[in-house]
Structure 1
Amino acid sequence: MRFRVSSQLEYQLEDPATFFFALKCIETNGQHIENESLLIEPEADTDDFTIGVGMNRFTRIRTSGSGPLAIRYQADVETSIQLTDVSSLIAEGPHLLVPDAVPFLFPSRYCQSDRLRQQAVDLFGHLEDPHAIASGISDWVFEHVTYRSGTSNEQSSAVETLEQRQGVCRDFSHLAIGFCRAMNIPARYVTCYSHLLEPPDFHAVFEVFIGGMWYVFDPTRLAPLNGLVRIATGRDAADAAVCTIFGNPVLNNIQVACESLDGEFAPITRDTLHAANQVIALL
């Protein structure tokens, strides 16, 4: 599958500021960037680097004055997925995990799995295998948390989302990740561009590690799972935030788009996977 992704962010600066942007898509075994561009107006002091367990790509921008600042990113990206029958998944405990998956068992800044352990056992302890648990967690979050913009902020955590029962995609994924880790399933946070997401925006989903592969879930059910283009991966939004700012600029405008370049697009959703008894991985 091929997608054209784009994002535009416009700020008003009053004082010097430093931005860490994760707007650029990453390269994986199944995701390849055909071309991309990043424009900054006016020109500013920048440098690019990779960091984190997902080798996320960051652009650091340092501004020294006041006035408007615009950042525009566009890329054509080829993605691949893998569909697997649930019956073929192999359950494995922490004692068999590959080292790369181990960090995603631990509590993190926004996913306090140690504080969610009893609730997780009470809600999902009757489920027998990792896929059933992860699927049950994703469904429970969808059914019991209301999607509502403006009800959370960059400080909101999984515990607060459980208490308040409302939030946005970031909060849905944090809560699901916290529950999964509390049930001894490695889980990680993914930011992405999303085809057919309404309204268009950056999106967050989560992945769980089962039988040597990461499988993706979206507890908001707002976007098809085969229309996701990976930007960054991490333990939670602290590792994979689209933008981290040191300073006090004001965001005046944001535009995000993800367009299919293949013509007809057949969405794969939670319901189509459930009907086929399959799970999906972003390669």
Structure 2
Amino acid sequence: MSINMEEPMRFTVGCRLRYQVKAPIAFVFNVAVADSACQEITEEKLQTDPDLAVEQVKLVAGSRHMRLHAPVGEFTLHYRASGTRAPVQVSTAGLAEVSPAKLPLDIVHYVYPSRYCPSDRLLNFAAREFAAVQPGYVRVQAICDWIHANVEYAFGASDAHTAANDTLLGRRGVCRDFAHLGIALCRALNIPARFVTGYAQGLQPPDFHACFEAYLGQRWFLFDPTKLIPLDSIVRIGTGRDAADASFATIFGSAQMTEMNVFYHETVQETESDGHTALSTC
């Protein structure tokens, strides 16, 4: 396997989230840049208004979840981070699938169905469409190409209850729906796959972005069925089985979002994939 480290890219990312809180509640935020092997944070600032105590825990792939308790009234979270990222490029030649019998035990659960990725409901469809495709990277890319060609990207087409099987039937969704469908189809073919969120370049309007990773040749590789952004521009935030594990905000109570502002700046020229390299950022 040929592995190349890209030159470090400098980034500055962040967000401002504002809520009207109707009763004292707990928030769990997942907006901080992940502390992973391919990302280094050089400067970081988190502010809340009002000023609140924040607990933090590090989870899968360096994801950092923050919990705080907000009183009644207006609440605002400001987050900003600068750093460098150096994705790993690997030749797609020979990137093979790993059979469940040979998967590391800590990877096996990424083949199982999950809340938004009920892969057990997509077994027949996945077999019919992709069983004959060359196993490995080529097959996962074929799944992404099928989703891109057959599912319409449409704001407001889904909600917090939409799962991969709903997206397959409705053929409309946003980035998280595209990612969930890609994950579910991979798992239906016994390819471990997981959900990834991040800050990304070029989104209009600016927003958090969702894509997914597939486990091939003993490593996790990024895929994005939306094809909306340069894949190597993603600054990882969260990683999980699906959006239930990596939502940017989980609210335990009653609150209404009144503002969301996300920004991304990078000081390096974009690079384009030649189609023969896969990207890993974990």
TM-score (norm 2): 0.93
Distance 2:123 2:94 in 1: 28
Q: State the match for 2:204 in structure 1.
A: 198
Q: 1:170 and 2:176 equivalent?
A: yes
- Structure 1 contact 193–202 (Cα < 8 Å) conserved: yes
Q: State the match for 1:19 in structure 2.
A: 27
Judged with a 3 Å threshold, the aligned counterparts in structure 2 of structure 1 residues 174 and 85 are, in CA distance, closer, same or farther, namely: same
- Structure 1 contact 227–267 (Cα < 8 Å) conserved: no
- Structure 1 contact 192–230 (Cα < 8 Å) conserved: yes
Unaligned runs of 5+ in 1: none
Q: State the match for 1:179 in structure 2.
A: 185
Q: State the match for 1:4 in structure 2.
A: 12
Q: State the match for 2:69 in structure 1.
A: 62
Letter of the aligned partner of 1:137 in structure 2? I
Aligned length: 274
- Structure 1 contact 207–215 (Cα < 8 Å) conserved: yes
| Per-residue CA distance 1:169-220 (angstroms, 9 max, x = gap) | 0000000000000011010100000022222100000010101111101100
Q: State the match for 2:261 in structure 1.
A: 255
- Structure 1 contact 22–58 (Cα < 8 Å) conserved: yes
| Per-residue CA distance 1:57-78 (angstroms, 9 max, x = gap) | 111111232x211101000121
Q: 1:30 and 2:38 equivalent?
A: yes
Aligned to 1:126, the other structure's residue is in SS state coil
Aligned to 1:221, the other structure's residue is in SS state coil
Distance 2:105 2:37 in 1: 19
Select which of 225, 230, 240 maps to 2:236. 230
Q: State the match for 1:281 in structure 2.
A: 280
Distance 1:163 1:249 in 2: 32
Moved more, 143-152 or 85-94: 85-94
Letter of the aligned partner of 2:246 in structure 1? A
Q: 1:215 and 2:214 equivalent?
A: no
Judged with a 3 Å threshold, the aligned counterparts in structure 2 of structure 1 residues 279 and 55 are, in CA distance, closer, same or farther, namely: closer
Percent of aligned pairs with the same amino acid:
37
Letter of the aligned partner of 2:105 in structure 1? P
- Structure 2 contact 195–239 (Cα < 8 Å) conserved: yes
Aligned to 1:92, the other structure's residue is in SS state coil
Aligned to 1:44, the other structure's residue is in SS state coil
- Could you list the runs of 4 or more consecutive aligned residues of structure 1 that deviate by over 6 angstroms after TM superposition? none
How far the C-alpha of 1:54 sits from its partner, in A, is: 3.1
Distance 2:33 2:52 in 1: 21
TM-score (norm 1): 0.93
Moved more, 131-140 or 80-89: 80-89
Letter of the aligned partner of 1:61 in structure 2? L
| Per-residue CA distance 1:57-115 (angstroms, 9 max, x = gap) | 111111232x2111010001211112222213244211111222211111111000111
Select which of 39, 43, 58 maps to 2:51. 43
Q: 1:239 and 2:238 equivalent?
A: no
